């Protein structure tokens, strides 16, 4: 029998604090705002909150650039606010998972301020410094946020590596002192009583030490660093050390954000012996079309096809069975809104398709993650001007591809942003129909989506048929039915181009689930439920048609297996 664990049975809710709830009218969400909304989350029924970074930060990348790991970002409040929020969450039975950003720090972190001072500084080797090559960057790598991954530092005439913005210098994990510092800091937070870590780009902490040029990209200027920075030579050794020295001493949920992870790698990161992490976030279902149908870089106008998504998710379901644990997600703060990307955000289909997607994901095997506002069916934003955008990734890409290389028109770039930009997910949480969606009494740091009058939490709570109440039911069902957590996944109807179907089998309880989801706005043939006796666990339709699934229909049936 499979090993049971609370983090396998839990549903996680991700909060992007900057956009969740502003309690003091400065236009930026904060910890007190989160505390005030805990009853809402308790009502939804989630078990765990993953908090995107709340540490001190100059906010070049909204907190993913940390200048002090043991302090709270001024805009978000104080450590006393954090402690109060943690305590109250625990009283309500909600655990708190922190974001751990240790591939890089801010350039304003005390370690980097020291490191850049001189070649002899004791902190020099905390970061990755290289001499210029032919008077230029040490290699051709492009940073994930456009432009070179190296920045020249005038003081010593050397370059430092930054896989993200130039204000996010990469830490040098080869240096044992860096590992000691990180592990001490993690222990400090664990002693405070937090319940786990979501580890930012943890697959990138070990770099190939020869730092070779990468294969040239489509723009013909920069090289691809990923083979040399993702799943690097010592990454598993580092995580095993972290596990021995920190993680194994506490009862934690650990999830590694693992850019470039393959199934074989995931089996190591999330191995069932528990020597590294509980699970990883894989990106295949997010990235597939970005690579095949890109305008440039990650920027695309294409929409994912169900068959592609299904092929990827099914493969992960099947191949991790018995080897590692899956995480399940369709969106987060780095992705467009799930209903706009995979469903249909037209008012006629929004609720139906959001419920269908939720069913399809939450009935799979793994730990499901809900991103704030997903439970309301919040949609992508429509960007009409670059001045609407806040995200450094968008601003840099626009500068590079539109203004500098003149490869893409401003219009096309904005259309790509509408489709896949991270800011789509970062517009303020829509609490009610009042000004600024009830998020702030001040001016929000990023515009509120104009559809807040129709899409908001207050309206959703009043409507028993809302997406919110559907999520509430999905969560409750998971808590009540071990087959949803532990049942073995088996694909069904793989030949269909429109219906995503599967079953889950828990032999020890003699139970089986049949799940079928129509990803289109037309009726589709599906005979899976015809003449089958069982209990309907959930559906987004009250009536069914034999032999058919209605537009965006999702059905889940529980039966005792023969």
Does residue 60 touch ligand NOJ according to CB under 6 A?
Answer: no
Output the smallest distance, CB 9 to ligand NOJ, in A. Answer: 25
By CB under 6 A, tell whether 61 contacts ligand NOJ: yes
Handedness of CA 83, 86, 87, 88 (dihedral sign): positive
Tell me the Ramachandran region of residue 313: left when phi exceeds 0, alpha when psi lies from -120 to 50, beta otherwise. Answer: alpha
Per rule CB under 6 A, is residue 170 in the interface with ligand NOJ? no
Q: Say how many residues touch ligand NOJ, by CB under 6 A.
A: 9
Question: By CB under 6 A, what part of segment 252-271 binds ligand NOJ?
Answer: 257
Rounded Cα distance between 126 and 111, Å, is 7
Exactly one of 164, 269, 325, 342 binds ligand NOJ (CB under 6 A); which one? Answer: 164
Does 142 interact with ligand NOJ (rule: CB under 6 A)? no
Task: Output the smallest distance, CB 49 to ligand NOJ, in A.
Answer: 16
Residue 259 C-beta: closest distance to ligand NOJ, Å: 8
Instruction: Tell me the angle at which helices 284-292 and 306-320 cross, rounded to the nearest 10 degrees.
Output: 140
* 35 vs 44: CA distance, rounded Å: 15
Of residues 101, 408, 414, 421, which one binds ligand NOJ by CB under 6 A? Answer: 101
**E strands in 83-242:** 95-100, 129-130, 150-153, 158-161, 196-199
DSSP string, 407-458: -S-HHHHHHHHHHH-GGGGTSPP---SSGGGGS-SS--SSPPPGGGGTS-HH
Answer for which of 64, 211, 325, 519 binds ligand NOJ (CB under 6 A) is 64
Catalytic machinery residues: 200, 257
Name the residue nearer to ligand NOJ (CB basis): 72 or 201: 201
229 binds ligand NOJ (CB under 6 A): no
The distance of Cα 83 from the centroid of its chain, to the nearest Å, equals 25
Report in angstroms how near the CB of residue 515 gets to ligand NOJ at its nearest: 29
Nearer CB in complex with ligand NOJ: 75/257: 257
164 vs 189, beta carbon nearer ligand NOJ: 164
Q: Which is nearer to ligand NOJ, 446 or 526 (CB)?
A: 446
Minimal distance, residue 144 CB to ligand NOJ, in Å: 7
Tokens describing residue 398: 């626009």
**Residue 201 binds to ligand NOJ (criterion: CB under 6 A):** yes
Nearer to ligand NOJ, 32 or 99 (CB): 99
- Residue from the set 22, 334, 394, 423 that interacts with ligand NOJ by CB under 6 A: 334
Residue 70, phi then psi, degrees to nearest 5: -110, 25
The CB-based long-range contact list for 491-494 (8 Å cut-off, 24+ gap) reads: 491/310, 491/314, 491/317, 491/318, 492/516, 492/528, 493/526, 493/528, 494/310, 494/314
Comparison of 203 and 380: residue with beta carbon closer to ligand NOJ: 203
Q: Least CB distance from residue 367 to ligand NOJ, whole Å?
A: 17
How far is residue 252's CA from residue 48's CA, in Å, rounded to a whole number?
A: 11
Residue (14 or 344) nearer to ligand NOJ, CB: 14
- By CB under 6 A, is residue 394 in contact with ligand NOJ? no
Q: Tell me: does residue 107 bind ligand NOJ (CB under 6 A).
A: no
Judge contact between 519 and 339, C-beta under 8 A.
no
Strand 95-100 relative to strand 48-51, pairing: parallel
Calpha distance 288→404 (Å, rounded): 27
Q: Where are the alpha helices (DSSP H) in 248-337?
A: 263-269, 284-292, 306-320
Least distance from C-beta 165 to ligand NOJ, angstroms? Answer: 8
Tokens for 406? 């003149």
| Residue whose beta carbon is closest to ligand NOJ | 64
Interface with ligand NOJ by CB under 6 A: which residues? 61, 64, 101, 164, 200-201, 257, 333-334
């Amino acid at each position: 029998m499979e090993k049971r664990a609370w983090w396998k049975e839990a549903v996680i809710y991700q909060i992007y604090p900057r956009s969740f709830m502003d309690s003091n009218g400065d236009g930026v969400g904060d910890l007190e705002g989160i505390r005030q909304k805990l009853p809402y989350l308790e009502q939804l029924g989630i078990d765990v909150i993953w908090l995107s970074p709340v540490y001190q930060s100059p906010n070049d990348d909204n907190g993913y650039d940390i200048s002090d790991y043991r302090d709270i970002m001024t805009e978000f409040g104080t450590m006393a606010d954090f402690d109060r929020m943690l305590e109250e969450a625990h009283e309500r039975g909600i655990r708190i998972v922190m974001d751990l950003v240790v591939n890089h720090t801010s350039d304003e972190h005390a370690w980097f301020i020291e490191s850049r001072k001189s070649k002899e500084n004791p902190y020099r080797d905390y970061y990755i410094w290289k001499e210029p090559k032919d008077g230029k960057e040490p290699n051709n790598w492009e940073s994930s946020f456009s432009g070179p991954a190296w920045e020249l530092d005038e003081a010593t005439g050397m370059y430092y590596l930054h896989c993200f913005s130039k204000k996010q210098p990469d830490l040098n994990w080869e240096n044992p002192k860096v590992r000691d510092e990180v592990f001490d800091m993690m222990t400090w937070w664990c002693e405070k009583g937090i319940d786990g870590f979501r580890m930012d780009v943890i697959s990138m902490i070990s770099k190939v030490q020869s730092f070779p040029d990468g294969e040239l990209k489509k723009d013909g200027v920069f090289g691809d660093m990923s083979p040399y920075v993702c799943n690097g030579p010592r990454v598993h050794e580092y995580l095993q050390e972290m596990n021995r020295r920190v993680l194994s001493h506490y009862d934690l949920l650990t999830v590694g954000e693992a850019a470039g992870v393959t199934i074989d790698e995931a089996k190591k990161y999330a191995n069932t012996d528990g020597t590294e992490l509980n699970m990883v976030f894989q990106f295949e279902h997010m990235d597939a079309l970005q690579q095949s149908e890109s305008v440039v870089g990650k920027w695309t106008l294409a929409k994912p096809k169900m068959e592609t998504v299904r092929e990827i998710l099914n493969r992960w379901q099947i191949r991790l069975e018995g080897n590692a644990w899956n995480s399940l997600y369709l969106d987060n703060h780095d992705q467009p809104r799930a209903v706009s990307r995979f469903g249909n955000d037209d008012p006629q289909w929004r609720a139906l398709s959001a419920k269908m997607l939720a069913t399809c994901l939450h009935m799979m095997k793994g730990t499901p993650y809900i991103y704030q506002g997903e439970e309301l069916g919040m949609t992508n934003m429509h960007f009409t001007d670059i001045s609407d955008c806040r995200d450094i990734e968008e601003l840099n890409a626009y500068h590079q591809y539109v203004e500098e290389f003149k490869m893409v028109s401003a219009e096309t770039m904005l259309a790509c942003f509408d489709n896949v930009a991270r800011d789509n997910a970062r517009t303020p949480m829509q609490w009610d129909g009042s000004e600024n969606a009830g998020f702030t009494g001040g001016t929000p740091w990023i515009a509120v989506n104009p559809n807040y009058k129709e899409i908001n939490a207050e309206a959703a709570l009043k409507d028993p048929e809302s997406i919110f109440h559907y999520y509430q039911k999905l969560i409750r069902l998971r808590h009540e039915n071990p087959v949803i957590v532990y049942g073995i996944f088996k694909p069904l109807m793989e030949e269909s181009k429109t219906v995503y179907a599967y079953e889950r089998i828990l032999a020890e309880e003699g139970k089986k689930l049949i799940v079928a989801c129509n990803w289109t706005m037309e009726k589709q043939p599906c005979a899976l439920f015809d003449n089958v006796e069982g209990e309907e666990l959930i559906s987004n339709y009250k009536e069914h048609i034999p032999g058919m699934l209605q537009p965006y229909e999702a059905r889940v049936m529980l039966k005792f297996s023969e």
